[in-house]
Amino acid sequence: MMDWSDRHCRFFHRLLTRRALLYTEMVTTGAILHGDRERLLGFDVSEHPIALQLGGSEPAALAECARIGAAYGYDEINLNVGCPSDRVQEGRFGACLMLEPSLVGDCVAAMKAVVKIPVTVKCRIGVDEQEPEQALFAFTDTVKAAGTEALIVHARKAWLKGLSPRENREVPPLDYALVHRLKANHPDLPIVINGGIASIEQAQAEQGNLDGVMMGRAAYQEPWRLLSVDPLLFGEAAPFANVKDALLALVPYIETEMSKGVRLSSITRHVLGLFRAVPGARAFRRHLSVEAVKPGATSQVLVDALALVPETSAEIAA
DSSP code of residue 151: E
Give catalytic status of residue 83 as yes or no.
yes
Distance in angstroms (rounded) separating the CA atoms of residues 248 and 299: 10
Angle, helices 281-291 vs 300-307, to 10°: value is: 160
Q: How far is CA 298 from CA 136, 192, 255, 304, in A?
A: 49, 40, 8, 10
Sheet holding 50-55, edge to edge: 22-28, 50-55, 76-81, 119-124, 150-154, 191-194, 212-214
Q: Which among 83, 96, 107, 123 is annotated as catalytic?
A: 83
Return all residues near 224 (Cβ < 8 A) that are at least 6 apart. 16, 243, 273, 274, 275, 276, 317, 318
Name the residue among 158, 195, 198, 200 with its Cα closest to residue 177.
Answer: 195
CA–CA distance, 138 with 133 (Å, rounded to integer) = 8
What DSSP assignment string belongs to 42-100? Answer: ---GGG-SEEEEEE---HHHHHHHHHHHHHHT-SEEEEEE----HHHHHTT-GGGGGG-
- Rounded to an integer, what distance in angstroms lies between the CA atom of residue 110 and that of residue 124? 22
Catalytic residue annotation: 83
